C-alpha cells in the first residue's frame, strides 16, 4: 500500500495557520481550515493550500481528532510515495547514527513523531523488536506500508503495535489492531532484553510504560553513573531500575530503588540479575523500598538516612494546563524532601517530564525550593533531550533535568 493510494483532499488554510505550518508547526486544528473539497476519511492525504491557491504542504487527515491534520511535508509539491518515505526515514536514522552504530546500545527511539516530521508515529527499537506507537488513526491505513519499509530497512524479528486510548476506542481501528498486538513476526512472551551503554535491561514492549522502557533518560543515567562512585545512591521513582544500575556499575557504595509499583521493583531486580556477571554490579548492595515517594522520603528523613546522590524522576505531574500550579508545588515538595536525605555536598538530580511545565519554570522551582530549604543548589548541569528524542516544535520539549550540589 502506498500513501499515494489513499484519497487526496484539498484543504485551504487560514493565513495565520499557513505561517505556522511554514515555520514548522505540525498540527492543524479545525479553526485553521477555511475550505475542504470533500469529507475526509482517516489517513487521507490533505493537500494544503493558502488563500491564493498556492501549495503549502501535505498532511495526514484525522477527522476524529481535534488535530485534524498532521503535517508530513512542507515547501515544494511532492509525491508522498514509498521512495519519499524511505528518504525521509533515512534522514531520520542519520540523525541517530551514533546510536544505531553503537554495538553497546541496542535500545533507542528510531522515529520520534512530530519531532522527526512523522507526526503521530513513534518507532522504538529494543534489539530486534520494533514498537510502533500510534497517537492517531490516520496512520492505520498506512501500517502495512510502514511495516514493509521498516522490515526492508531494519530487518526486525517482530513489530509490536501500541496505540493510544483514543485510537483503541475509535470505530476506525480494526479489531485485529489491538493495543500491544504483534503485527509482524513471532508472538512475544515476556520481556525483550537489550543493551544500553553496555548494561543489559528488560523492556516490556507489550505492557510496559511508554513502549516498554524510558529510553529518554539514557544520557541522564550515564551522567548519574559518573557521579555515583563510592556514594549511597537513592533512586526515587525508580521504575525498572535504570538509574540504579548505572550507579551500581559505577561502584556506588549502595543503591536504593524506591517506587510505588511492586512489578516495577521486581523488574529492577531482574535487571540487576541480568548484569550480575559484571563484578562491580554484583558487589553493590541493591535495596528496594515499595512505597509512595513522598511518604518514604519523610520516613527515611525521620530515620536519619543520608545519601550522596538522590535522583527524583517522577511521572508527569501536569497532563493538563490546570494541573500546572499543582505540579510546581509537588516538584517543590519533592526537592525539599529529597534534600532532607541528601548528605552535605551531595548531588540532587531532579527531572521533569511534564511537557506543560517549561524548562525555565521547572529549574526556577527546583532552585527556589532548595534555597527555601537552606540548601542552595550549586548547579552542575541542566540537561534536555537525548539525540534520539530531538525537539522539533515547542510542544515536543518535555524532558528537563537539573544536577546540583547542595
Ligand atoms: N526513572 C525511571 C522512570 C520513572 S517513571 C527510569 O529511568 O526508567 C515514574 C515511576 O514513578 C513509575 O515507575 C511509577 O510506578 C512511579 N510512581 C508514580 N507515582 C509514585 C509515587 N507516588 N511514589 C512512588 N513512585 C511512584
Ligand 1 centroid to residue 284 C-alpha, Å: 22
Residue 22's Cβ-count burial label (10 Å; 0-12, 13-18, 19+) is middle
- CB of 274 within 6 A of ligand 1: the answer is no
Quote the CA–CA distance of 130 and 128 in Å, as a whole number: 7
Ligand 1 centroid to residue 330 C-alpha, Å: 14
- CB of 293 within 6 A of ligand 1: the answer is yes
Residues 218 and 356 in one domain: yes
| Residues ≥6 apart with Cβ < 8 Å to 34 | 12, 13, 14, 51
- What pLDDT was estimated at residue 4? 53
Residues 224 and 363 in one domain: yes
Residues 88 and 56 in one domain: no
Residues 64 and 187 in one domain: no
Q: Report if residue 92 sits inside a domain.
A: yes
Ligand 1 centroid to residue 240 C-alpha, Å: 9
Residues 331 and 388 in one domain: yes
Q: Report if residue 199 sits inside a domain.
A: no
Quote the CA–CA distance of 372 and 370 in Å, as a whole number: 5
- CB of 275 within 6 A of ligand 1: the answer is no
Domain end marker among 193, 223, 241: 193
Residues 377 and 283 in one domain: yes
CATH code for position 29: 2.30.130.10
**CB of 390 within 8 A of CB of 93?**
no
Give which of 343, 268, 344, 330 is closest to 294, Cα–Cα. Answer: 330
- What pLDDT was estimated at residue 2? 53
Domain end marker among 26, 47, 74: 74
Q: Report if residue 342 sits inside a domain.
A: yes
Give which of 406, 390, 365, 339 is closest to 113, Cα–Cα. Answer: 390
Domain end marker among 54, 74, 94: 74
- What pLDDT was estimated at residue 395? 87
Residues 285 and 234 in one domain: yes
Q: What is the 8-class DSSP label of residue 192?
A: E
Which atom of ligand 1 lies at the shortest distance from residue 239's CA?
13
Ligand 1 centroid to residue 239 C-alpha, Å: 5
Ligand 1 centroid to residue 125 C-alpha, Å: 22
Residues 170 and 224 in one domain: no
- What pLDDT was estimated at residue 1? 39
CATH code for position 328: 3.40.50.150
Q: Report if residue 202 sits inside a domain.
A: no
Ligand 1 centroid to residue 143 C-alpha, Å: 32
Give which of 146, 94, 144 is closest to 123, Cα–Cα. Answer: 146
- What pLDDT was estimated at residue 3? 62
- What pLDDT was estimated at residue 365? 98
Number of domains in the chain: 3
Residues 68 and 134 in one domain: no
Q: Report if residue 257 sits inside a domain.
A: yes
Q: Report if residue 207 sits inside a domain.
A: no
* pTM passes above 0.75: yes
Which atom of ligand 1 lies at the shortest distance from residue 209's CA?
5
Task: Give the structural domain span for 56.
Answer: 8-74
Ligand 1 centroid to residue 238 C-alpha, Å: 6
- CB of 355 within 6 A of ligand 1: the answer is no
Per-position pLDDT tens, the chain of length 406: 356 556 789 999 999 999 999 999 999 999 999 999 999 999 999 999 999 999 999 999 999 999 999 999 999 999 999 999 999 999 999 999 999 999 999 999 999 999 999 999 999 999 999 999 999 999 999 999 999 999 999 999 999 999 999 999 999 999 999 999 999 999 998 999 999 999 999 999 999 999 999 999 999 999 999 999 999 999 999 999 999 999 999 999 999 999 999 999 999 999 999 999 999 999 999 999 999 999 999 999 999 999 999 999 999 999 899 999 999 999 999 999 999 999 999 999 999 999 999 999 999 999 999 999 999 999 999 999 999 999 998 889 999 999 999 9
Residues facing residue 289 across a β-bridge: 258
Q: Report if residue 203 sits inside a domain.
A: no
Residues 388 and 250 in one domain: yes
Residues 57 and 101 in one domain: no
Q: Report if residue 198 sits inside a domain.
A: no
- CB of 246 within 6 A of ligand 1: the answer is no
Quote the CA–CA distance of 295 and 359 in Å, as a whole number: 27
- CB of 217 within 6 A of ligand 1: the answer is yes
Residues 154 and 302 in one domain: no
CATH code for position 147: 3.30.750.80
Amino acid at each position: 500500500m502506498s500513501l499515494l493510494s489513499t484519497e487526496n483532499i484539498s484543504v485551504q488554510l487560514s493565513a495565520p495557520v499557513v505561517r505556522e505550518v511554514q515555520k514548522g508547526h505540525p498540527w492543524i486544528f479545525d479553526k485553521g481550515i477555511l475550505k475542504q473539497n470533500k469529507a475526509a476519511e482517516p489517513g487521507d492525504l490533505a493537500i494544503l493550500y493558502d488563500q491564493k491557491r498556492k501549495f503549502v504542504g501535505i498532511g495526514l487527515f484525522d477527522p476524529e481528532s481535534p488535530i485534524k491534520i498532521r503535517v508530513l511535508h512542507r515547501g515544494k509539491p511532492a509525491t508522498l510515495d514509498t521512495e519519499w518515505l524511505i528518504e525521509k526515514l533515512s534522514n531520520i536514522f542519520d540523525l541517530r547514527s551514533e546510536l544505531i552504530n553503537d554495538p553497546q546500545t541496542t535500545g533507542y527511539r528510531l522515529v520520534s513523531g512530530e519531532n522527526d516530521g512523522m507526526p503521530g508515529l513513534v518507532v522504538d527499537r529494543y534489539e530486534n523488536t520494533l514498537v510502533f506507537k500510534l497517537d492517531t488513526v490516520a496512520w492505520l491505513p498506512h501500517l502495512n506500508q510502514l511495516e514493509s519499509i521498516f522490515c526492508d530497512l531494519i530487518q526486525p524479528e517482530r513489530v509490536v503495535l501500541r496505540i493510544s486510548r483514543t485510537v483503541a476506542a475509535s470505530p476506525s481501528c480494526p479489531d485485529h489492531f489491538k493495543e500491544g498486538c504483534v503485527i509482524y513476526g513471532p508472538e512475544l512472551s515476556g520481556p525483550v532484553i537489550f543493551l544500553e551503554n553496555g548494561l543489559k535491561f528488560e523492556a516490556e514492549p507489550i505492557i510496559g510504560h511508554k513502549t516498554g522502557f524510558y529510553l529518554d533518560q539514557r544520557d541522564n543515567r550515564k551522567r548519574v553513573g559518573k557521579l555515583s562512585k563510592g556514594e549511597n545512591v537513592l533512586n526515587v521513582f525508580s521504575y525498572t531500575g535504570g538509574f540504579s544500575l548505572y550507579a551500581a556499575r559505577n561502584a556506588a557504595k549502595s543503591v536504593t530503588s524506591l517506587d510505588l509499583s511492586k512489578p516495577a521493583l521486581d523488574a529492577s531486580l531482574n535487571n540487576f540479575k541480568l548484569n550480575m556477571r559484571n563484578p562491580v554490579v554484583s558487589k553493590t548492595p541493591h535495596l528496594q523500598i515499595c512505597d509512595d515517594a513522598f511518604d518514604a522520603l519523610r520516613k527515611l528523613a525521620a530515620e536519619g538516612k543520608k545519601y550522596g546522590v538522590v535522583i527524583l524522576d517522577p511521572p508527569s505531574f501536569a497532563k493538563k494546563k490546570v494541573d500546572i500550579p499543582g505540579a510546581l508545588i509537588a516538584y517543590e515538595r519533592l526537592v525539599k524532601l529529597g534534600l532532607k536525605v541528601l548528605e552535605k555536598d551531595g548531588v540532587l538530580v531532579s527531572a521533569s517530564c511534564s511537557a506543560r511545565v517549561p524548562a525555565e519554570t521547572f529549574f526556577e522551582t527546583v532552585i527556589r525550593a532548595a534555597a527555601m530549604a537552606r540548601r542552595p543548589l550549586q548547579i552542575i548541569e541542566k540537561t534536555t533531550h537525548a539525540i534520539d528524542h530531538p525537539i522539533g516544535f515547542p510542544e515536543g520539549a518535555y524532558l528537563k533535568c537539573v544536577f546540583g550540589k547542595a
